[in-house]
Amino acid sequence: MQKYYNAGIYERTVDDYQSLYTQLRHQKQFLFEYGQCLSKTEQYTESNIIFELLLHYSSDPMVYNCMGNNYKGMNEYEKAEKMYLRASQIVPNRHYPLFLLMKLYLEIGEINKAQEMAENLLKKPVKIHSPAISEMQEEARKIIDD
């Protein structure tokens, strides 16, 4: 199953993960992958139920990012914002939650908030440079320049 998950074949994989839920419901990696499969197949509510369970075993901020993405997919923007903010509070030096907030604000037309988040993103010190960081910073610069 995991090879299908890793290949992005979520439609086929989600049913297989569901069949193993009873046996593996205490395994962090399983819960994360199952939640992602549900999310990628637009089963956002079910995905967040799995992610809520995962939070009993993990405090990984990525779980909050994923939940925020689910809420965004359901057009529940205030809940999405809360999840991204929570992720940024757990590990304050991470750039990705701020990037997700910036994108959310753009999507809902909160341009001032998007620009503020872009500035915060650009001011944040970078521990390890990567292509992902460079892409986030480039998008942030475009928002500020526009």
Give the pLDDT band of residue 120 (cuts 50, 70, 90).
very high
Residue 146 confidence (pLDDT): 84
Q: Over range 125-130, report the average pLDDT.
A: 93
Residue 103 confidence (pLDDT): 98
pTM over 0.95: no
Residue 40 confidence (pLDDT): 96
Residue 70 confidence (pLDDT): 98
Q: Do domains 1-58 and 77-146 have the same CATH topology?
A: yes
Residue 145 confidence (pLDDT): 93
The domain ranges of the chain are: 1-58, 77-146
Question: SS3 breakdown of the chain: % helix, strand, coil, rounded to 5?
Answer: 75, 0, 25
Q: Does domain 1-58 have CATH number 1.25.40?
A: yes
Which CATH class name applies to 77-146?
A: mainly alpha
Angstrom distance (rounded) from CA 85 to CA 146: 24
